[in-house]
Structure 1
Amino acid sequence: IETKDCASTSQAARLTSLAGIDSAYFWICGLIAALGIFFILFRRTVTEAAPQPSDEVARRGIGAVMADALRSRWAVLGGAAIFLYVGAEVAIGTQMAFFLHSDAIWGHSDAPLAYPLIGHIMGDDGIFGISAEQAGKAVALYWGGAMVGRLVGSALLARVKAPRLLAAFTAIACVMCAYVFAVGGVGAGVVALCIGLFNSIMFPVIFTITLERTTASEEATSGFLCFSIIGGAAIPPLVGYISGMTDYVTAFFVPAICYALLCIFSLASARAPVRHRAEDAAPATVH
């Protein structure tokens, strides 16, 4: 339980707060159970609706198909790009509330409340500094930026080639991360929230770029790219470890490296030959 100005809390207040956590996990458990029951009852309908595997997959088996993906340089590079992108996005999002609440950013300042949208979402609790609860509310802007950015990105992709747009977005995200750990302060919190806006188009664009350049089959490439989202489970613990050893601000250098590598990937893809037309490639999965 967070308190300010050396305030104390009673045992009853602590138990009430912990009870809220218990009820949240109860509802999460109930939702998972409901999904399990749904799939058990309607498993035949779900199976019939699922697309049938191609003749190649049925003949060779999933192991051989994935080996085909690993033999393609662009399938491997695309998988690495997805790994880095998802890892960077999730790492920033999972630590955003702690980052904003830290003393080096918003913990000892009311300045963020002056920003119209940010101040409206967080609300003023009348206590100096941004509390953990207020910072948690502000995280919605990070994920919401990704949604808004997809709408803007769709319009831009109609006018700008995908590799160039990806290079621009990844370069901007890299610079924003560098600003956060190099400069810090109240402005760094606003900049960090805006990174979500530039994350928006990365997954579908990486997916499409890879499918256009891979020498492996669409099934093998798509499966390997989907597998590569494990970056969302690998990079966040690394960022968390670094933030524990140093601070939340310094840990932003890890996402900065990820975005820099993604920028290199996009620049390389602009020079690579396109083997499949975009309209012939499998549609990109929205993440």
Structure 2
Amino acid sequence: MPPVTSGTAAQIDNAHGQTARYGSALSLLATLFFMWGFITVINGTLLPHLRSVFDLSYFQAALIESVWFIAYFFASIPAAKLIERIGYQKSLVTGLLIMAAGALGMVLAASIPSYGITLIMLFVIASGITLLQVAANPYVAVIGKPETASSRLNLVQAMNSAGTMLAPMFGAWLILGRTKGGTATAGTVLTPAERLADAQSVMLPYLLVAAVLVVLAVVIARFPLPAMGAAARRVRSVEAPVGSAFQRFWNHPLWQHRNLVWGVPAIFIYLIAEIGVGNLFVNFVSRPDVGAMTTEQAGRYLTLLWGGMMVGRFIGSAVMQKVDAGIVLAVFALGAFVVMVITVVSSGPVAMWALIAVGLFHSIMFPTIFTLGIRGLGALTEEGSGLLIMAIAGGALVAVQGYLADHYGLQASFILTAVCELYVVFYALWGSRPTHALPDADAAGL
């Protein structure tokens, strides 16, 4: 064995230091994934609450979630521009402060109360989360070895699932459990005074959320996050297409990559399924012919749905160390299709537990589709990631399921979810196969 020179020793020390810094950075970033998972799913508890307060149809209630995900479409490009201007760390802080401002706005909306202001403030919160998504997902992918990017993203996304698992308990306790509508049986008509009291019950939860977000923003602002090197930033040596705006769009080299082209709609369609289940879960489980319980009790079962997603991501991350990610994705998507069919054709506890089980099968879908979608993009990874994040706007089409629930029945509306699962199977088995693959960017320059 050759002697270790001082230069080699310095490199080893530097490598150990880099590893420690990456580990600390990932731990801190995991809190971001936790918080935006928590706040996103708190809407699953908030929707049946607002439906009672404002006497909303399923479509109007689903429109609340649609506004949330429309923000991903409109805020993604401005978020990318902001990151380019002020950097990743300041963008993370800005995103948290935007979310805190929206949470405080929810306190205002509850004090009036106002359905319109509620929609606006949810859009503000979602815009802050969009900024975090655009910054944090690529950041996690590049701080470390490229070959372990999928594993890192699945593990960090497991913390996102931890947030989604705890959010229903928080919401059931501080929102539904403290309201007349949340503890009453189905069909109970509230008086105007009871509606006002129920609306104001969300003030304390959102004040707590705003305080936590501000504290987290301060911590990240003072934390020495590793700088992203040149390899992690956009490589401008890629020759841009020329011609008219249409020609430049049509001839863009991104469209040569099948895994990205089919991956963008895969994210879009998957979000319709995930958000539709989460939003209508409480209403479905509380029905007399399914769970026969109050919305408060049903909100507690929602914890099992999101808990299944957390467990599934840990399992999927381990399995994908030995099995191709596309095969694992296909198996999970087929499992999701089966349990959704059971949900549609059965009743009672069978229907309820089938809907809960879909959380386990949904678990790996977003992080796995994301990593398969950017595989082989090389210098185009940054742009491809942006398109995949923008596709999260697919959650806005949950209003379509709300429309189906109003006109064809809540249980029948889950047929839409089952169809979405079949597209993910198609993507896993064929659409995710890379074409014109480029070398992965070397992140060693971080």
> What's the TM-score, normalizing by structure 1?
0.73
Q: 2:411 aligns with which of 236, 249, 271?
A: 249
Deviates more, 1:236-245 or 1:255-264: 236-245
Return the offset for 1:208: 2.4
Return the offset for 1:260: 0.4
Q: How does 1:68-83 map to 2 (within 5 A)?
A: 68-70=253-255, 72-83=257-268
Amino acid paired to 1:171 = L
Whole-Å separation in 2 of the counterparts to 1:153 and 1:243: 32
Q: Secondary structure of 2:375's match?
A: helix
1:176 aligns with 2:339: yes
User: 2:327 — aligned with what?
Assistant: 164
Inter-CA distance 8–208: structure 2 relative to 1 (3 Å threshold): closer
Amino acid paired to 2:259 = W
Inter-CA distance 251–281: structure 2 relative to 1 (3 Å threshold): farther
Which string of whole-angstrom CA distances, capped at 9 and with x for unpartnered residues, describes residues 78-117 of structure 1? 111111112211111111111111233112xxxxxxxxxx
Deviates more, 1:83-92 or 1:205-214: 205-214
Whole-Å separation in 2 of the counterparts to 1:206 and 1:274: 18
Whole-Å separation in 2 of the counterparts to 1:102 and 1:188: 11
Which string of whole-angstrom CA distances, capped at 9 and with x for unpartnered residues, describes residues 252-282 of structure 1? 11111111011011111476658357xx369
CA contact (8 A) 2:309 2:360 kept: yes
Deviates more, 1:17-26 or 1:164-173: 17-26
CA contact (8 A) 1:142 1:193 kept: yes
User: 2:429 — aligned with what?
Assistant: 267
Deviates more, 1:23-32 or 1:257-266: 23-32
User: 1:56 — aligned with what?
Assistant: 236
Whole-Å separation in 1 of the counterparts to 2:320 and 2:217: 41
Q: 1:106 aligns with which of 291, 294, 297?
A: 291
User: 1:258 — aligned with what?
Assistant: 420
Return the offset for 1:192: 0.6
Q: Secondary structure of 2:369's match?
A: helix
User: 2:271 — aligned with what?
Assistant: 86
Whole-Å separation in 1 of the counterparts to 2:254 and 2:397: 23
Amino acid paired to 2:279 = T
User: 1:23 — aligned with what?
Assistant: 204
Whole-Å separation in 1 of the counterparts to 2:186 and 2:384: 56
Return the offset for 1:169: 0.6
Structure number with the bigger relative contact order (C-alpha 8 A, sep ≥ 6) is: 1
CA contact (8 A) 1:68 1:216 kept: no
Whole-Å separation in 2 of the counterparts to 1:186 and 1:72: 44
Q: Secondary structure of 1:56's match?
A: coil
Whole-Å separation in 2 of the counterparts to 1:221 and 1:91: 26
Q: How does 1:66-215 map to 2 (within 5 A)?
A: 67-70=252-255, 72-107=257-292, 130-212=293-375
Return the offset for 1:24: 3.4
Inter-CA distance 264–16: structure 2 relative to 1 (3 Å threshold): same
Name the count of aligned residue pairs: 254
Which string of whole-angstrom CA distances, capped at 9 and with x for unpartnered residues, describes residues 109-161 of structure 1? xxxxxxxxxxxxxxxxxxxxx11100011101111111111111112112221
Inter-CA distance 57–223: structure 2 relative to 1 (3 Å threshold): farther
CA contact (8 A) 1:164 1:270 kept: no
Whole-Å separation in 1 of the counterparts to 2:382 and 2:190: 57
CA contact (8 A) 2:235 2:379 kept: no
Over aligned residues, Cα RMSD in angstroms? Answer: 3.9
> What's the TM-score, normalizing by structure 2?
0.49
Amino acid paired to 1:24 = P
Return the offset for 1:22: 3.5
Inter-CA distance 51–193: structure 2 relative to 1 (3 Å threshold): farther
State the identity %. Answer: 28
Inter-CA distance 270–28: structure 2 relative to 1 (3 Å threshold): closer
User: 1:125 — aligned with what?
Assistant: none
Whole-Å separation in 1 of the counterparts to 2:417 and 2:188: 37
Return the offset for 1:31: 5.9
Inter-CA distance 243–6: structure 2 relative to 1 (3 Å threshold): closer
Whichever structure has more helix as a proportion of its residues is 2
